[in-house]
Amino acid sequence: MSTLSPALLAADAPTTPGLSPDALLLIAVAGVAALLLMIMKAKIEPFVALVVVSIGVALAAGVPAADLVATIEEGMGSTLGHIATIIALGAMVGRIIELSGGAAALAHSLIDRFGKKRTPLALTATGFLLGIPVFFEVGLIILMPIVYGVARASRKPLLVYALPMGAAMLTVHAFLPPHPGAVAAATAVGAQQGWVLLFGIPLTAVVILLGYLMARRITRRTYPMAPEIAAKVYGDEAGPDGVESAGDDPDAGARSGLSEGAGQAVENPPSFAMVASLILTPIVLILLGTIGTNALPEGDTLRAVLTVLGAPMVALLIAAALSAYFLGARRGWSRQHIGQVMASALPGVAMVILVAGAGGVFGKVLVKTGIGNAVADLLDRTGLPLLLLAFVIAMLLRAVQGSTTVALVTTAGLVTPLLQRADLSPQQLALVCLAMGAGGLSLSHINDAGYWMFTKLVGLDVGTGLRTWTVLTTAMGVTGFALTAALWQVV
């Protein structure tokens, strides 16, 4: 029996005129090509591009005009109904941790615990923990002033500290809920987020540890830095060991995205235990909900309680309430200020939520038109395993258009019809999501906003960024897929 979500299983059969499979495949290829061109060349927002392409594909495949709006609303509504609240609440938790000084407190505490000799590992661990509730770009802005200070004090190359830390945050962003790509992919294929977390947290931890070791090897040599970053970090225009800067963009620092006062200390910051507990609370609740659902009999009171508390929306709502109280109210924040802080998290995630919803529209159109079945037939004929297909498609889409979230939601739309034919367990569906995450982690390069943000903050030129950041993230993505494939053999 299929384990896909009821929404997907209830999706209408194709309602379009009987186009041949080859014609449907041609429409699908044209649609994906148009999507990539709109995002890459025309620089159109992915949300708008996905909606426009979905409409074009639907009309080309023969969806009646009277059904077009309903199809779009169904795809958007069914997707956002699952993910909008989760992403918004996760962003609120991260925002409270950020503005309360919890992120800096977490970093400094881990540095003290690991010791000066293991500061790069401490910052990598910080990136892992902070990366769970905080988006990648925000996490970089929060932690880079700390990295600058550590590099200045040690007179060691900035990249030694920044590379593994940044890669750790990007890994979490690609693999784990409540990040939008992971949530949208799990929703699309009908995977339980509890299983994604149960497999994904240890897998992500191993990938990050291996990435830290790879980064140590990459940073054995000293790379040139942009002069303005060298001056910001070391107080002069030469990096450590007297290596001259090779940057050629004097305005890069101004465009780096480093917010004013990002590294300022907060009076009476929260403790490490408090911040770590708030980060882990929703994860533990979701995992308990998954374990209770699978281990306890139906009708059991404890199972019912754990099912409610372990629902991702409820777990994150509890985490947001606890964060508001312990990091806000108990530390003197007024109710008005707490409300303002939580509201300030929403503008930054609004477009991401819409992108995920538009991905749901694209997936719905593929089902309604019969293109999904045609694509599934084609993928089935390749003879490649499902897991490998999910990884390769996500990696290719990530490489050509840059966004991890867009790569994951588009891949989910393409492979879902194929997954519906397979008799996959909840555990296997979770591993398919992780395989897509591994693809979404790989090949971060010049068309990725995260690539530019990292390289500008660290002062790397394009070639150096490709040799360090791109190589490391790709190696970590391939490693993540290899570990996922190994887990597939035993579940």
Q: Tell whether the model's pLDDT for residue 254 goes beyond 50.
A: no
Query: What pLDDT does 335 receive?
Result: 93
pTM listed for this prediction: 0.82
Query: What pLDDT does 7 receive?
Result: 40
Q: What is the pLDDT of residues 198-224, one digit of tens each?
A: 999 999 999 999 999 999 999 999 899
Q: What is the mean pLDDT of residues 92-112?
A: 89
Higher pLDDT residue, 125 or 154?
125
What span, in angstroms and rounded, lies between the C-alpha atoms of 275 and 484?
Answer: 30
Query: If we measure between CA atoms, which residue out of 407, 399, 411, 404 comes closest to residue 450?
Result: 404
Query: What pLDDT does 17 receive?
Result: 52
Query: What pLDDT does 243 receive?
Result: 46
Query: What pLDDT does 235 receive?
Result: 78
Query: If we measure between CA atoms, which residue out of 345, 398, 409, 396 comes closest to residue 181?
Result: 409
Which amino acid is residue 279, in one-letter code? I
Which amino acid is residue 348, in one-letter code? G
Q: Tell whether the model's pLDDT for residue 87 goes beyond 90.
A: no
In this prediction, residue 240 has a pLDDT band, given cuts at 50, 70 and 90, of low
Query: What pLDDT does 21 receive?
Result: 84
Q: Which two tokens stand for residue 132?
A: 């769970």
Q: Which two tokens stand for residue 255?
A: 């465009």
Q: Tell whether the model's pLDDT for residue 251 goes beyond 50.
A: no
Q: Which two tokens stand for residue 346?
A: 């929403």
Q: Tell whether the model's pLDDT for residue 4 goes beyond 70.
A: no
Return the residue matching tokens 């996500």: 394
Q: Tell whether the model's pLDDT for residue 58 goes beyond 50.
A: yes
What span, in angstroms and rounded, lies between the C-alpha atoms of 216 and 163?
Answer: 9
Higher pLDDT residue, 277 or 138?
277
What span, in angstroms and rounded, lies between the C-alpha atoms of 390 and 412?
Answer: 8
Higher pLDDT residue, 268 or 21?
21
In this prediction, residue 165 has a pLDDT band, given cuts at 50, 70 and 90, of very high
Q: Tell whether the model's pLDDT for residue 302 goes beyond 80.
A: yes
Q: What is the three-class DSSP state of 127?
A: helix
Query: What pLDDT does 2 receive?
Result: 38
Give 243's contacts (C-beta < 8 A, 6+ positions apart).
Answer: 222, 224, 225
Ranges 355-369, 375-389, 472-486, most confident: 472-486
Q: What is the mean pLDDT of residues 112-140?
A: 91
Sign of the four-CA dihedral 195, 197, 198, 201: positive
Q: Tell whether the model's pLDDT for residue 262 goes beyond 60.
A: no
Q: What is the pLDDT of residues 181-196, one digit of tens each?
A: 999 999 989 999 999 9
Q: Tell whether the model's pLDDT for residue 231 goes beyond 50.
A: yes
Q: Tell whether the model's pLDDT for residue 82 goes beyond 90.
A: no
Query: What pLDDT does 16 receive?
Result: 53
Q: Tell whether the model's pLDDT for residue 261 goes beyond 70.
A: no
Q: Tell whether the model's pLDDT for residue 304 goes beyond 70.
A: yes
For 423, phi then psi, to 5°, come to: -95, 80
Query: What pLDDT does 1 receive?
Result: 35
